[in-house]
Amino acid sequence: MRKPRKAGGGSQRHGEQPSPDAGPGTPSQVSPYHLFGDADEVTRFRASLLSWYDQAKRDLPWRRRAAGELDLDRRAYSVWVSEIMLQQTQVATVIGYYTRWMQKWPTLQDLAGASLEEVNQLWAGLGYYSRGRRLQEGARKVVEELGGHVPRTANMLQKLLPGVGRYTAGAIASIAFGQVTGVVDGNVTRVLCRVRAIGADPRSPSVTQHLWSLAQQLVDPARPGDFNQAAMELGATVCTPRGPLCPKCPVRGFCQAQKRVEKVQAAVSRRLLGSPEQEKTLEVEECGLLASLWEFPSVPAEGTESVQRRALVKALQTWVRGPLPLRSLRCLGEVVHVFSHIRQTYVVYSLALEEQPQGLLPSGARWVSRAEFQAAAVSTAMKKVLQLFEGQPSGHRKASSKSPQDPATSGPGPGPGRQCRQLTLGAFFKPTSAP
Ligand code: SF4
């Protein structure tokens, strides 16, 4: 496994090897770093989160209402309304709307009997009016077609109710009916990505799938609704997008991102004290951050640009047999990526090749096409690196070669404007079947 470094080109995977027929986006196995190790760890995580939630949860009208409502359909309705309103709207704004809504239509039957005009009127100012319309359509469906009973499972809720997606269905089923089903919204995504140090794009299918399976693994079987709300509450109030309150976090002891920060801070302290262990500590920890992801080959970027170039050329020559067109090695600039509260800088180099070089790739590496790269499990940082490469205007390049062989001005590629862009990505990322 290789750690993310600061200079790159090509593509290399972190972590487990995929099976021979698996693409780069389908690692055969998720790194243990992104999983919860054992049942005991899961139990302790649940207990820490729930005990914090019991003390710190916000007093919100939908929580009060759901907790005090014995009738399951009424309880589901009260959760359903809140979840729909909370989509794309802040809690503080929703409180007033929710209170007015429930006063006007305390039951599904009341809402089913309302006119669309009344619904729109009460919804005015909340935005995304289709949410209110769908809510009312759902109420009518429950009353007219389902005997007044809200479907009792996440699957059936998602299947039968308009406007109810996977997250909302899971939230209603777990909070109102106690179904043991995990949920993943934006807040839960952030918490899980930090807790398990998942640096890949959370919108990618493989990461989304992993997050849902983590949520399902973690949800407390005795208090699924509370657990899901606790995870969301943590993301909303403690593990915030910027400036997370780690010292106050109840799951700090389980958080890989936090552990990494502590180790980096310890390494910095050792460096200040002149300890030689510094590099080793950083390397071990960085291995985990982006485990199981593909990344461009990289070397540590130390010193001046000429020192960096020498280190990069040396590495390239250990990977590729035969001569390399080093004249086309370009420094494109820097990509800064902030993962959680960790800041990493990549100095990006490109090397245009006319054909796939002969030679042995490092263990676990392979050439990929642009399409394979887009479909692969790669970190957001690597996507930024590629964006820098693809969007690099000539004026921003540090290299100034204008020779006829300059890949910026020759070779296949689009017509107008091609002289301003690096055109040889197809040559850089060749599929393994390419000659
Ligand atoms: S320790 Fe910090 S980064 Fe980790 S889950 Fe808690 S608030 Fe988020």
Q: How many CB atoms lie within 10 A of CB 404?
A: 6
Give 106-145 as a DSSP string. -SHHHHHTS-HHHHHHHHTTS--THHHHHHHHHHHHHHHH
- Name the active-site residue from 16, 41, 69, 83: 83
Distances (CA, A) of 215 to 6, 38, 221, 291: 33, 15, 12, 19
| Residue 78 Cβ contacting ligand 1 at under 6 Å | no
Task: Place 116 in a pLDDT band, splitting at 50, 70 and 90.
Answer: very high
- The residues, ordered by sequence, that sit 6+ positions from 96 with a Cβ below 8 Å of its Cβ are none
What's the rounded Cα separation, in Å, for the pair 81 and 319? 58
Q: Quick one: average pLDDT of 180-195?
A: 96
| Token pair in block for residue 332 | 């494109």
| Residue 196 Cβ contacting ligand 1 at under 6 Å | no
In the block, tokens 């208090």 appear at: 223
Mutate to test the pocket of ligand 1, among 49, 52, 218, 239 (most ligand atoms within 8 A of CB): 239
Nearest CA to ligand 1 atom 8: 239
Give pLDDT, residue 344. Answer: 72
| Residue 198 Cβ contacting ligand 1 at under 6 Å | no
Residue (of 48, 292, 87, 47) closest to 186 by Cα position: 87
Q: How many CB atoms lie within 10 A of CB 431?
A: 14
∠47-48-52 over CA atoms, to 5°? Answer: 110
Q: What percent of the chain lies above the pLDDT cut of 70?
A: 71
How many A from CA of 171 to the centre of ligand 1? 23
The pTM is what? 0.64
What's the rounded Cα separation, in Å, for the pair 350 and 389? 7
| Residue 258 Cβ contacting ligand 1 at under 6 Å | yes
Task: Place 354 in a pLDDT band, splitting at 50, 70 and 90.
Answer: confident
41 given a catalytic annotation: no
Give pLDDT, residue 357. Answer: 66
Task: Place 29 in a pLDDT band, splitting at 50, 70 and 90.
Answer: low
Residue (of 294, 285, 287) closest to 201 by Cα position: 294
Walk me through the domains of the chain, giving residue ranges and CATH numbers: 7-20+296-428 (3.90.79.10), 32-254 (1.10.340.30)
Q: Strand (E) positions, 256-329? A: 294-295
How many A from CA of 38 to the centre of ligand 1? 20
Q: What percent of the chain lies above the pLDDT cut of 90?
A: 46
pLDDT digit string, tens, across residues 199-223: 888 888 888 999 999 999 999 999 9
| Residue 86 Cβ contacting ligand 1 at under 6 Å | no
Q: Tell which wins on pLDDT, 3 or 215.
A: 215
The widest CA-to-CA distance across the chain, in whole angstroms, is 79
Q: Strand (E) positions, 254-304? A: 294-295
Task: Place 229 in a pLDDT band, splitting at 50, 70 and 90.
Answer: very high
Give pLDDT, residue 34. Answer: 81
Distances (CA, A) of 88 to 27, 47, 93, 146: 33, 30, 11, 29
Which span out of 223-237, 262-276, 326-340 was modeled with the highest average pLDDT? Answer: 223-237
| Residue 249 Cβ contacting ligand 1 at under 6 Å | yes
Mutate to test the pocket of ligand 1, among 192, 251, 254, 265 (most ligand atoms within 8 A of CB): 251
How many A from CA of 408 to the centre of ligand 1? 44
The ligand 1 atom at the shortest distance from the C-alpha of residue 244 is 7
H or E element in which residue 394 lies: none
| Residue 192 Cβ contacting ligand 1 at under 6 Å | no
Q: Tell which wins on pLDDT, 258 or 421.
A: 258
Task: Place 106 in a pLDDT band, splitting at 50, 70 and 90.
Answer: very high
Least trusted range by pLDDT, from 94-98, 265-269, 289-293, 424-428: 424-428
Least trusted range by pLDDT, from 31-35, 66-70, 199-203, 214-218: 31-35
How many A from CA of 304 to the centre of ligand 1? 35
Give pLDDT, residue 17. Answer: 29
In the beta sheet, which residues pair with residue 379? 200
Task: Place 362 in a pLDDT band, splitting at 50, 70 and 90.
Answer: low
How many A from CA of 158 to the centre of ligand 1? 31
The ligand 1 atom at the shortest distance from the C-alpha of residue 238 is 7
Residue (of 403, 406, 313) closest to 352 by Cα position: 406
pLDDT digit string, tens, across residues 135-166: 999 999 999 999 999 999 999 999 999 999 99
Q: With a cut of 50, say whether residue 406 has pLDDT above it.
A: no
How many A from CA of 138 to the centre of ligand 1? 37
